[in-house]
Amino acid sequence: QTSAAGRMDRLLNWFGLSREQRRDMKILQGDLNLPGLGLKARDAETMAEEAQEIIHCASDTSFSARRREQVEKTNVLGLENLLHMVRKSPCRAFHLVSTAYVAGRQRGLCAEGIREVREFHNVYEETKFRAEKMAARHCADNGITLYVYRPSIVYGDSNTGRTTLFNALYYPIRTLHFFQKLYTRDILENQGKKAREMGVRLEKDGIMHLPVRIKSSDECGLNLIPVNYFVEAFMTLRRECPEGGVFHVVNPRSTTISLLADYTRRFFRLEGVRVVAPEEFIKQPRNGLEILFDNHIRYYSPYMQDKRIFEHSRTGAILSGQNVTCPEFSYKVFDACMHYAVQTDWGRLLLVK
* Residue (of 209, 349, 212) closest to 276 by Cα position: 212
Residue 176 contacts residue 346 (beta carbons within 8 Å) = no
pLDDT at 2: 85
Condensed to tens digits (0 to 9), the pLDDT of residues 145-157 reads: 999 999 999 999 9
Torsion of CA 44, 45, 46, 52, to 10 degrees: 90
pLDDT at 88: 83
Structural domain boundaries of the chain?
A: 4-162+223-254+308-329
* Residue (of 91, 135, 98, 57) closest to 247 by Cα position: 98
pLDDT at 352: 52
Superfamily of domain 4-162+223-254+308-329: NAD(P)-binding Rossmann-like Domain (3.40.50.720)
Q: Which residues contact 18 (CB under 8 A, 6 or more apart)?
A: none
| pTM, rounded to two decimals | 0.95
Condensed to tens digits (0 to 9), the pLDDT of residues 58-96 reads: 999 999 999 999 999 999 999 999 999 988 899 999 999
- For the chain, which ranges sit under pLDDT 50? 353
Return the number of other C-beta atoms located less than 10 Å from residue 149's C-beta: 23
pLDDT at 350: 87
Q: Which amino acid is at 263?
A: Y
Report residue 309: phi and psi, to 5°.
-125, 130
Q: How far apart are CA 151 and CA 176, in angstroms?
A: 26
For β-strands 224-226 and 93-97, DSSP reports them as unpaired
Instruction: Give Rg (Cα) of the chain.
Output: 22
Condensed to tens digits (0 to 9), the pLDDT of residues 195-240 reads: 999 999 999 899 999 999 999 988 889 999 999 999 999 999 999 9
Q: How far apart are CA 28 and CA 32, in angstroms?
A: 12
Specify the 3-state DSSP secondary structure of 114. coil
pLDDT at 257: 96
C-alpha distances in Å from residue 70, one per residue of 33, 85, 98, 195: 10, 21, 17, 38
